Amino acid sequence: MSAAALAILPELGPPGWVALGVIGVGAAAWGGYEWYQSRSHSAATTDANTRADAQTDTATDTACRTCCARLVVISRTASPQAAQHIADAQAAGKPSVLTLDRAGTLARRAVALRGIPTAPGMDRDEYPPATFAEGGAGASVRSIPLSDNRSAGRQLGAQMNSPSPATEGCKITMTVGP
């Protein structure tokens, strides 16, 4: 991993899950992406456009720091409760296309988690995550096992950093897969 990629890891979220995500879930993330590419449904044209955008974001990043697009697939196998939370939140109207905005993460997280109690061995999972402009006030928050939430975070971090780190303003389409 390049020194530049290592330098931005702390900005992407809790260093534990981000560092592990960059190292640990590449194959699982790619499997989820392959599943997403292969599924067929009535919105095939939209899927084709999303895949094309996700595959060309490296070239776009060099031309415009706010014009990249990524696809993130959270595995139902690796993170069943986090994946279900994403699916439930999106079904309730939360957006699936999110805007990367690391600078406001701490403030949005504080707003989203205000008044929500903690529990031993559990994390307060947010959707949309605080790392995105759409997170914060009004986010769906659910207590899920710490290991499940951290696994989802590793997947998110790994996919946002492949093939190169996502830039601020990058549009991330989040979905769940096998």
Mean pLDDT by 10 residues, the chain (178 residues): 37 34 36 41 38 41 62 98 98 98 97 97 98 98 98 97 93 98
Q: Which residues pair with 144 in a beta bridge?
A: 123
Cα 38 from Cα 76, distance rounded (Å): 17
pLDDT value, residue 1: 35
Cβ(71)–Cβ(173) below 8 Å = yes
Question: Which is nearest to 156 in space by CA: 2, 13, 11, 1?
Answer: 13
pLDDT value, residue 174: 98
Cβ(160)–Cβ(24) below 8 Å = no
pLDDT value, residue 150: 98
pLDDT value, residue 27: 37
Cα 57 from Cα 169, distance rounded (Å): 12
pLDDT value, residue 67: 67
pTM of the full structure: 0.66
